[in-house]
Amino acid sequence: MPPLLTTTLRRLRRLATLDDAIYDELRFDSAATLPAVAVTAIGLFALGLGGWLWWLLSDFGNTGTVFIKTVILGTIFGFVAWLAWLLVVYTVLRRISGATVQVEQLLRTAGFASGVLVIGLLMVITPIAFGVGILALVAWAGTTQIAIERTIGRGGSDVLVANLAGFGVWLMIMSLLASGTNQVAPGPFLAESVWDAITSVSVAFG
Q: Give the span between the Cα atoms of 83 and 21, in whole angstroms.
A: 23
Structure letter (DSSP) for residue 199:
H
pLDDT digit string, tens, across residues 152-173: 999 899 999 999 999 999 999 9
DSSP for 108-120, please give it: HHHHHHGGGGGGG
As a whole-number percent, the residues of the chain with pLDDT over 70 amount to 93
pLDDT reported for residue 191: 77
Q: Give the span between the Cα atoms of 35 and 154, in whole angstroms.
A: 25
Q: Give the span between the Cα atoms of 171 and 10, in whole angstroms.
A: 30
Q: Give the span between the Cα atoms of 86 and 68, in whole angstroms.
A: 26
pLDDT digit string, tens, across residues 34-85: 999 999 999 999 999 999 999 999 888 778 988 999 999 999 999 999 999 9
Q: What is the overall mean pLDDT for the chain?
A: 90
Largest Cα–Cα distance of the chain, in whole Å? Answer: 55
Q: Residue 173, SS3? A: helix
Q: Tell which wins on pLDDT, 107 or 58.
A: 107
Q: Which of 32, 166, 159, 44 is nearest to 108 (CA)?
A: 32
Q: Tell which wins on pLDDT, 117 or 199.
A: 117
Which parts of the chain are beta strand (E)? none
Where are the chain's structural domains? 33-199
pLDDT reported for residue 142: 97
pLDDT reported for residue 204: 46
